Amino acid sequence: MSMAASAGCRVPAGHAGGVLAEMTDDAAPLTIGTPSNTSAAVSPASPAARRKLRCAVLHLEDSLKWADGGNLYRDALQAAEDEWAIYETAREGTLPPPGSCDVCILSGSHYNLSAPETAEIPFVAATSAFVREAVERGSPRIAAFCFGAQLVAHALGGRVGRNPGNVFVLKAEDIIPGPAFAALPAASGVVVGAGAVVDDHDDVAPGTPTSTLGTSPCLRILVSHGDCVETLPPGATHLAGSPSCTNEVFRVGGTVIAMQSHPEFDLDHCIKTKIWPAVVEERKRLTEEQVADSLASFEKPRHSRAMLQIVRRFLEGDATEEGSSTGDGTATGAAAVAADAGQACCSGGSAAGSS
């Protein structure tokens, strides 16, 4: 299925399925090439920026509560002189034209790919095709977060399901890197071994010499999800897991990195103002014990800045070097996986829709 194949389709009303279910009544036709806004960054917001990027955010949330959600990813990852365009993919149905961007960010969403009907929503199907085509071409490079990571897994032949025990996870989660994460060039100086990271957490002033910092067994990042990636796509490489999600971080070849967490989130605006009232106070998704655990986790140091540094380096890096450095999953191999996944999805053979 090509990106253009879904142009003109409309998202039926009533496809809400998650905790943030404030939806518009309808959606605009799927089109390619008209971002809602563009901008050039005027100051760096992440360390170690090395080259100018043409960046696109695919905002996969249509809830009015998150109308400005695409800006979170730009603000978290931008560097000086970058060019950024935000596509309201869920609400307006837009996708970047081929060749128009070097980097593509897939956002979170309230949608649940554990529900079979979600895969049939036009913007989800079109974005899945976009991911497969990007992997086949080796461009643009992709960073995917939460629902975006689940969509990558689904699009390439993996499986998405409900969290173990159908428990909603809302906390600062301990994300434990594995050997492949430590070997990733983009993680050099941050992840220093399996289960070991330099403790350059958000409360430490940027630029603190790493020689003065200790190590932590995890990257502690904010998470909010009811679904997770149960099975990685064929050829994907597991990078990190957590107590609540086995496949917290993974990559596909040298051009896609995906994670269940939200390093772009801040605690006050995103969690306390937007998510906590809906999940905890209105929908009672957490038990009293889980509420206490979540609140306690928010008091611990977090490592969002360190994870964003890794993502930025990955997006700037050379696909061939990153794909070959860990010994598997090169861009060429990922393209074959994407082609196979596309054939399976188009024939109705994707496993992600089953429960």
Which range, of 1-5, 86-90, 311-315, averages the lowest pLDDT?
1-5
Decide if pLDDT at 246 tops 50.
yes
In three-state form (DSSP H/G/I as H, E/B as E, the rest C), the secondary structure along the chain is CCHHHHCCCCCCCCCCCCCCCCCCCCCCCCEECCCCEEEECCCCCCCCCCCCCEEEEECCCCCHHHCCHHHHHHHHHCCCCCEEEEECHHHHCEECCCCCCCEEEECCCCCCCCCHHHHHCHHHHHHHHHHHHHHHHCCCEEEEECHHHHHHHHHCCCEEEECHHHCCEEEEEEEEECHHHHCCHHHCCCEEECCEEECCCCCCCCCCCHHHCCEECCEEEEEEECEEEEECCCCCEEEEECCCCCCCEEEECCCEEEECCCCCCCHHHHHHHHHHHHHHHHCCCCCHHHHHHHHHHHCCCCCHHHHHHHHHHHHHCCHHHHHHHCCCCCHHHHHHHHHHHHHHHHCCCCHHHCC
Answer whether residue 256 shows pLDDT above 70. yes
Is the predicted pLDDT of residue 325 greater than 70, yes or no?
no
pLDDT bracket for residue 50 (50, 70, 90): low
CATH number for the domain spanning 120: value is 3.40.50.880
Q: What is the pLDDT of residue 180?
A: 98
pLDDT at 319 (0 to 100)? 35
The whole domain housing 166 covers 3-353
Note the pTM of the prediction, 2 decimals. 0.79
Give the chain's domain count: 1
Percentage above 90 pLDDT, the chain: 71
Tens digits of per-residue pLDDT, 7-40? 333 332 232 332 222 223 333 334 445 565 554 4
The pLDDT value recorded for residue 208 is: 82
How large a percentage of the chain has pLDDT more than 70? Answer: 75
Residue 286 has pLDDT above 80, yes or no: yes
Ranked by mean pLDDT, the top range of 15-24, 181-190, 205-214 is 181-190
Q: Tell me the pLDDT of the chain averaged across its residues.
A: 81
